[in-house]
Structure 1
Amino acid sequence: MTAKLSNFKLLGYSLKVNRNHVLCWGCVSFSSEQKWKSSFQNSQLEGKLVLKAEEAQLGACQDLRSQYCSLSLDVQITTQLHHRINTAVDELTQLQDSVQQEVAYGVKGSVGEVDGLVRKWREVYEGLKSVSLLLSAHKHLDDAHKAEMSHEFRNTAQNLAEVDRILGDASKKEIESQLDVVSALQDAVVIRRMQLVYTVGEVWNETVSWDEERRNNGSRVVTLLIKVGGESSKESLQKLQQMFEALYMLGELQRRIKALGKNLMRYFFRPIINCHAELKVTERSDGYSIQVTQQDSKKGNFPAAVVFMTLQKVFAVLHSSLLSLSIKAGEEEVSLMQLLGREVSEEFTQVLIKECLAEAVPCSQAQLNKYEEVKVAAKDFQQFLVDKGFYRPDEMSIMEYAANVDTVFSNKACAHIMERARELMVRPVHVLVCITPLEPDGPLVIQDEGGNKLIKSTMKLENLLSAKTFNLPRCQISASMCDLVELIYETMEEACTSSPQHAGRLFYTVRNILSLYCHVVPTAHAYSLATLPQQAAVIHNNSMYLGHHALLLGHQYKSKFPQDLRESILTTVDLGHELRKMATTTFLKALQGHRTALIDTLRESCGLDTIGCNIDGVSKAEQGMRQCLHQLQLLHRVWQTVLPCSVYTKAMGVLISSVIEEVITRVVSLEDISADCALALINLLNLLKDNVPALFIVEGESATLADDVVCYVKLWGKFSELIIVLGASLREILDRWAEGKGPLAHEFTPDEAKQLIRALFQNTDKRAHVLAKIK
């Protein structure tokens, strides 16, 4: 301490001499010799001054090290050092002016010595300036601490920012000897800033707090408490202003506003928009309480006007209590509401449009007039948010969406129609209605399961056509298909009374429904198609019925469409072909599955392969045959009332032909058939022959007879001839061959006939004679 005081005394003396010296130099009556001597004396005094300045610089650095590096406190001495350093800098500046004015011009012989002193002086001068910066940083740190203790957060942040600037300037200077002091000051700034961030964060948490509660009834209650203090509103706002400005200067405000916006979207805005959330605002002595109650069991939407009004209450409370405050961000004043809008306005707009406005758009032309109320409410709400600063003045997304009612309505209506259509497509198809004429050769009508006539616009096409012109045969379709076709006709009727743009959209929506059916139904009902015979038949009928209407749908309504669309090509004929193709493909796939199951049943019984030489195989063969008949009879019961008669008989003929072909192939391939086995085969084949013709009789169709089996089973004649051959003699076989002109020759090839003869009869001359005749 004594050394420091002696330094200051010496420094004070040098400054005093320097002032006298400057005054002496101010006299203009000196002679050249006196100027030379005076300059020489000045050089000596300057050297002393430099020495004293270095001692003062050393003392200041030691004091800063003692405080920031050794953790000792001597604020008063540091303040005195700061004052002394500033005085020394001023005196050195005056000395520089004197040297430039007199010494530099008067002492030409001592240029080298003076230059050395000047360089030395400059080094000391820069060192003193660096130490002065460090002392200034210390002063601002001290002021920051005092301001924080007084809860003057803005001043604290400003002082810390100033320390950062000073240390940044100091780092650019050559201060190798004070690097430890700079590093210590930088650490002190970091610690002070972290402490300030924590302190201001605690104040923020006390001001804005969230509380969530789960009640026993399943509801969730979220409460936002905004505490603005119990003092006068002006003082409270000043304190909040200081807190927000400090957060902004620390770079924390944006993060806090972002977190606030995220919570508002999660707990307030989304529940209010897309759920039945109730709002309760309470004004308290210390601020405001905003409470939102959401029932988990209630999902849906309030009317748009109610949603706008509820949201407006939330924004009004947020603005009046907290978010109306402004901070200076660069050259502009920005309110907290504007900062909140920058963070969440885009997400808020998307949710509001998607979950509220989009739902408020009507789905039919009749409800469109009520939408005017929604447009007015959206405009008022948009303007309210612009006035509060949440939206920019040029932000008009909500208003534009609400005002663009034509496009929005058209999109919504078409999307709603497609949604209804898809829902009808995936419904179960087992609820059936019957398409049948009430009287012979009369027009078709739709009847339910009780036989009651159903009045449907789906029969418009049939009413336009005669009873036998392009008409559907009697069959059963699912009730959901009637509803789907009804929806298509309703859409076409609405298109006839709509604007050209909307009418075009509706027509292509109908086309999309028909196209969607081809893709959705096979996928949605894949399991039923693979396992239930009736489902495949019903879906076949449904698809044919829909394709039937699609063929002339465009032609029916083209003349009724708006004039602008009548010149366009409006047709659904191409989709009618696709629907018929899809119906055929679906049913043929199911038919192939049934055929495979019947053949597998015959092959798994293994009776026909061994019955030729082993009578014990008869029981297994009979079991497989009866199982095949059971499957065919099941299909008969299921299909005969569902499928059109012609389709049913053809389908049954295909399946029976496959069974008959398998039986014939296996019997003809036998190499040896004993008399007993031949008799067993005859009985077995007669079992099939006796039961199959009845499968072609359809209830309610008098035109169907058992004899139709000959028309639809292409190998029935061969099958009947096989039974005869198994019980015939060689003479009878030869007579039935009739030199290649008899019934046996008509059904069997010579090789097949010879194979049967060799299997049935022993090798004798008579058999050889018969074999020779068959060629």
Structure 2
Amino acid sequence: MASFVTEVLANSGKLEKEDLSSKISRLSRRVEEIKCEVCDMISKKYDEFLPSMQNSEDLMNQVNNISNDIDNLRTHIENEVQKDLHVAVTEFADLKQQLEKNTMVLSVLRVLQEFDTAIEDYHKSLLEKKYSLAAHNLQRAETGLKTLKARNGCELKILKAMNTELTIQKQNLLYHLGEEWRKLAVWKLPSPKEPSTLETFLKTELHLSSSASNGNGDNIPVLPSVLQAFSVLGELHSKIRLFSQVLLKYVLKPLITYPALQLILMEHPDQGTTLKFYLEETNLNHPSPVAVYQKVRTVLEQLHKNLFDIPLKHLSETDKSLTITLAEVLGELIWEEMCDCIIKECLVHSIPANSSQLEQYEEVIKDTEEFENNLKEMHFLKDCTTDLLKYARNVNSHFANKKCQDVIVAARNLMTSEIHNTVKLSPESKVTPPKLPVPKEKMNVEKVAKVSPKVIMNLENEHQLNAHTFSMPVCRISESVQKLMELAYQTLSEAANSTSHCAIQLFYTVRNIFQLFYDVVPTYHKENLQKLPQLAAIHHNNCMFIAHNLLTLGHQFKYHLPKPLCEGAATFVDLVPGFRRLGTECFLAQMRTQKAELLERLSTARNFSNLDDEGAYLAASKAVKQVLHHLKRLGKVWQDVLPVNIYCKAMGTLLNTAISEIIHKITTLEDISSEDGDILYSLCKTIVEEGPQVFTPLPDKNKKYQEEVPVYVQKWMAFKELMIVLQASLQEIVDRWADGKGPLAAEFSSSEVKSLIRALFQNTDRRAAALAKIK
């Protein structure tokens, strides 16, 4: 029995003979049959690899016919349903669902058709070496495959076969593209096992060509197609990155680093260009910026001409097509590393060594700007200020940094050099400050100070100071310290002729030099300063020499430096006490060491007792001779080094230590026989005769300094009084005491004199009477 919907439609004249349901049923069966045939064909073609081109075309015609029937039927159904929808809702819903299912299957069949067509077009494009078109066809096939994977219910076996086919063809295309790329840029490189030397880079060659043979002997430009294909497949960036790494390592960096390495170009008609290296004799340790820019520009020009002037289509983040060149891609990959190399290997070493050369550096700035403009014209560089040009323009700051660094390095080398290489200072010796222009401030002061010469004559004293009043005394200092002070003057001269920022930086670098000396020298030379008395004396003089110059160093340059230095900050006076203390402490430590050695030698004298015994006598005599020998040897070491007043004070202090110990030992003896007294007298006489000789090495001046011995040796007169006591009678001793007012009382206490009397004389009434007078 026909359905109610059928009767209604039949009565209305919209459905004549054939039941709509039966039509859809037949159509569904036909769709299923075509689906099975299409799936079978795709499976055989991409899984079993059977030729089925004709079957595919017949099936596609059938698919198109059925598609048209479905469209007509859908239109027919929708028109009929709209008139009486409330009656046929249920039946037409089922029919529509069945129709939608058939429509979905048909859309899948269309995707399979598009995939197959894209693969066929890909093969055709690849045979014709249309690599860009082939890549786009693969991209079409991949898009279709992704659409199928996104649908539910598709047969897994078919998708797997299609995915395998797509992967194989993509790798095949990449292989062909790689072969073409290798023909366009042919490298000849040294072995990776060879060390990176100048001679190794001579083996590097690069052949560039933008054309390739099509198999018939004709050269066709395949470069744009190859690069666009790489871009479509997403492999362009990695390919250019690898090329850029080789280019930097074997071409650009060697050309920048080695001034002797030069570039040679060999152009071959219709075959491209070959880049090679050769060596050129040069005395330069670092290349000049002009030469580096020229060599790098030549390489990039050839790359731009033969390989990288190719426009590429890219999609931006907003999905708008952008056109960039391959040169921009390469530029982004190599610029930063190449820029750093140019700065470190070239520009750093081109910074002027002194301020007078700063004006000449303007040429380097112009060359740098021109170099960057050339790279921008070839699209290797974007239109923006780069670190390279910023570095070149900031030459004043770099000059200051380089100058400060060079000064610190030079100063440290001087501080760690040998101290014993000395020069002799005379009263006329001084570091001559460089001639500097008279500042305006000082000129104004001089104008105000101009008065009549007669007035000046009246104001002057009749007695003038000696020209050498404020000079360093005659002594020896280290040659390195003299050079250090000259370095300080040269650096301050550079500061006076530099910009404000540079001048301040250089001034404080000079201060850092002296602070570095204060810290480095005592530590670096610590062992030698402790062991070698000569070096201790030289170090003392060095510190005093530096302190002497620091008193006026800042004032000499004050008016030539910018604010705030010219307002009083340019001073080194605060460093003077530290240097004086540094030299004094070192020399006093050496004096303590020498005192200890003298006392150690005297400790072998057996306290100068029982000298009638031969062994005791020999020990005492040997100790005295060793003391004198040690003083004379030390005098020869210090004789030409220390200023004469310091030398005399030092030797007088050491001699005083020796005789004070001898006096102490003799005055503490409990028994001195007449024979012992004579021996002690002879030993003391030896010291009195030979001791003053240590004050100066020059024989013609001995007498003068020997007369001044009591000035430097505090116990000298006491020592002479002791000698007199050893040979005197009781009455002579009492007379020299003179009730505590005589010369003996001026040097010894009453207890010491009584002790000597008890040791020298026997216990008699006369000795008791004499002792009674000593009070």
- TM score, norm. by length of structure 2: 0.75
The equivalent residue for 1:557 is: 557
Instruction: Report whether the alignment pairs 1:445 with 2:426.
Output: no
The equivalent residue for 2:239 is: 256
1:304-319 matches, within 5 Å, as 304-319=289-304
The equivalent residue for 2:541 is: 541
Q: Deviations over 1:699-724 (max 9, x none)?
A: 48668735777665667789999999
CA distance in 2, matches of 1:591, 1:642: 15
What residue ranges of structure 2 are gaps of 5+ in the alignment? 1-7, 316-320, 436-463
Q: Secondary structure at the match of 2:155?
A: helix
1:146-545 matches, within 5 Å, as 146-175=124-153, 177-208=154-185, 209-212=187-190, 220-228=201-209, 238-276=221-259, 277-285=261-269, 286-293=271-278, 300-330=285-315, 331-437=321-427, 444-445=428-429, 457=432, 466-493=466-493, 495-496=495-496, 500=500, 502-522=502-522, 525-526=525-526, 528-529=528-529, 532-545=532-545
Q: Secondary structure at the match of 1:473?
A: coil
Q: Deviations over 1:196-224 (max 9, x none)?
A: 33443343333321423889995641533
Q: Secondary structure at the match of 1:212?
A: coil
CA distance in 1, matches of 2:348, 2:299: 22
The equivalent residue for 1:440 is: none
Q: Deviations over 1:397-440 (max 9, x none)?
A: 44454445554555555555555444444444433221124xxx
The Cα of 1:476 is off from its aligned counterpart by 1.0
CA distance in 1, matches of 2:676, 2:76: 144
Q: Deviations over 1:478-532 (max 9, x none)?
A: 3333333334334444555555555545444433433343344445545654554
**Contact kept? 1:57, 1:85, Cα under 8 Å:** no
The Cα of 1:318 is off from its aligned counterpart by 1.9
The equivalent residue for 2:575 is: 575
Q: Secondary structure at the match of 1:434?
A: strand
User: Per the alignment, do residues 102 and 303 of structure 1 end up closer, same or farther by CA in structure 2, a change over 3 Å counting?
Assistant: same
CA distance in 2, matches of 1:317, 1:107: 76
Q: For this pair of structures, how many residues does the alignment match? A: 725
**Contact kept? 2:211, 2:221, Cα under 8 Å:** no
1:578-593 matches, within 5 Å, as 578-588=578-588
User: Per the alignment, do residues 36 and 147 of structure 1 end up closer, same or farther by CA in structure 2, a change over 3 Å counting?
Assistant: closer
The Cα of 1:617 is off from its aligned counterpart by 9.5
User: Per the alignment, do residues 436 and 107 of structure 1 end up closer, same or farther by CA in structure 2, a change over 3 Å counting?
Assistant: closer
Q: Secondary structure at the match of 1:705?
A: helix
The Cα of 1:315 is off from its aligned counterpart by 2.1
> Which stretch of structure 1 is more off in the superposition, 723-732 or 506-515?
723-732
The Cα of 1:388 is off from its aligned counterpart by 1.3
CA distance in 2, matches of 1:302, 1:586: 48
**Contact kept? 2:201, 2:250, Cα under 8 Å:** no
**Contact kept? 1:207, 1:225, Cα under 8 Å:** no
**Contact kept? 1:282, 1:290, Cα under 8 Å:** yes
Q: Secondary structure at the match of 2:384?
A: coil
The equivalent residue for 1:18 is: none
Q: Secondary structure at the match of 2:539?
A: helix
CA distance in 2, matches of 1:771, 1:674: 18
CA distance in 2, matches of 1:618, 1:106: 153
CA distance in 2, matches of 1:82, 1:692: 130
CA distance in 2, matches of 1:180, 1:143: 24
The Cα of 1:174 is off from its aligned counterpart by 0.9
The equivalent residue for 1:452 is: none
Aligned residue type for 2:429: V
**Contact kept? 1:654, 1:712, Cα under 8 Å:** yes
CA distance in 2, matches of 1:198, 1:221: 31
User: Per the alignment, do residues 721 and 267 of structure 1 end up closer, same or farther by CA in structure 2, a change over 3 Å counting?
Assistant: farther
Instruction: Report whether the alignment pairs 1:136 with 2:80.
Output: no
Q: Secondary structure at the match of 1:445?
A: coil
Aligned residue type for 2:238: R
**Contact kept? 1:612, 1:678, Cα under 8 Å:** no
Q: Deviations over 1:713-750 (max 9, x none)?
A: 66778999999999999999999999999999999999
1:577-726 matches, within 5 Å, as 577-588=577-588, 598=597, 633-652=632-651, 693-699=692-698, 705=705
The Cα of 1:578 is off from its aligned counterpart by 3.6
Q: Secondary structure at the match of 2:294?
A: helix
**Contact kept? 1:226, 1:321, Cα under 8 Å:** no
The Cα of 1:266 is off from its aligned counterpart by 3.1
> Which stretch of structure 1 is more off in the superposition, 44-53 or 665-674?
665-674
Q: Secondary structure at the match of 2:266?
A: strand
The Cα of 1:548 is off from its aligned counterpart by 1.1
The Cα of 1:297 is off from its aligned counterpart by 9.7
Q: Deviations over 1:93-115 (max 9, x none)?
A: 44333332224655755533442
CA distance in 1, matches of 2:754, 2:161: 116
What residue ranges of structure 1 are gaps of 5+ in the alignment? 1-28, 438-443, 447-455
User: Per the alignment, do residues 31 and 309 of structure 1 end up closer, same or farther by CA in structure 2, a change over 3 Å counting?
Assistant: same
Aligned-residue identity in percent: 31
The Cα of 1:692 is off from its aligned counterpart by 5.6
RMSD: 5.4
The Cα of 1:602 is off from its aligned counterpart by 5.9
**Contact kept? 2:351, 2:402, Cα under 8 Å:** yes
CA distance in 2, matches of 1:392, 1:183: 46
User: Per the alignment, do residues 193 and 366 of structure 1 end up closer, same or farther by CA in structure 2, a change over 3 Å counting?
Assistant: same
**Contact kept? 2:667, 2:756, Cα under 8 Å:** yes
User: Per the alignment, do residues 432 and 119 of structure 1 end up closer, same or farther by CA in structure 2, a change over 3 Å counting?
Assistant: same
User: Per the alignment, do residues 91 and 317 of structure 1 end up closer, same or farther by CA in structure 2, a change over 3 Å counting?
Assistant: same
> Which stretch of structure 1 is more off in the superposition, 708-717 or 535-544?
708-717
Q: Secondary structure at the match of 2:111?
A: helix
CA distance in 1, matches of 2:666, 2:199: 73
Aligned residue type for 2:289: A
User: Per the alignment, do residues 57 and 474 of structure 1 end up closer, same or farther by CA in structure 2, a change over 3 Å counting?
Assistant: same
CA distance in 1, matches of 2:97, 2:715: 125
CA distance in 2, matches of 1:329, 1:623: 101
User: Per the alignment, do residues 53 and 470 of structure 1 end up closer, same or farther by CA in structure 2, a change over 3 Å counting?
Assistant: same
CA distance in 1, matches of 2:79, 2:425: 121
CA distance in 2, matches of 1:730, 1:381: 105
**Contact kept? 2:138, 2:170, Cα under 8 Å:** yes
CA distance in 1, matches of 2:369, 2:336: 17
CA distance in 2, matches of 1:393, 1:745: 99
User: Per the alignment, do residues 33 and 502 of structure 1 end up closer, same or farther by CA in structure 2, a change over 3 Å counting?
Assistant: closer
User: Per the alignment, do residues 36 and 95 of structure 1 end up closer, same or farther by CA in structure 2, a change over 3 Å counting?
Assistant: closer
